[in-house]
Amino acid sequence: MNAVDGTLISVTIRETKNSGATAFTLLISRIELNSKKETYLQTEGIMTKHKFSTDTNSIVGQLDSYKFVLLKGTADLF
């Protein structure tokens, strides 16, 4: 992803050997502050649950599910 598109940051929040993992991805928008020292921003995060099993016959269907989280706040220059 290039600077025109913004940035994605993903972290694994929970991981187990037998049942799957949960990850959170933060979408970081590009922000122009110029002479403003602070600006309001709104973005989203995505909580992803990945199903996994050592028994390949026990899981059928969709293996990933997503929950979108609205995030609001401010960005500022130090």
* Mean pLDDT in consecutive groups of 10 residues from the start of the chain, 78 residues: 71 84 92 82 93 71 90 87
Quick check: is 1 in a domain?
no
The range of the structural domain enclosing residue 30 comes to 7-76
Quick check: is 72 in a domain?
yes
Local structure of 63: helix, strand or coil: coil
Q: What is the pLDDT of residue 12?
A: 93
Separation CA 49–CA 39 (nearest Å): 32
Nearest CA-CA partner of 48 in 8, 18, 77: 8
Quick check: is 43 in a domain?
yes
On the 0-12 / 13-18 / 19+ scale of CB atoms within 10 A, 54 is: exposed
Beta-carbon count within 10 A of 22 CB: 15
Nearest CA-CA partner of 43 in 5, 2, 1: 5
Q: How many domains does the chain have?
A: 1
Q: What is the pLDDT of residue 53?
A: 66
Q: What is the pLDDT of residue 3?
A: 46
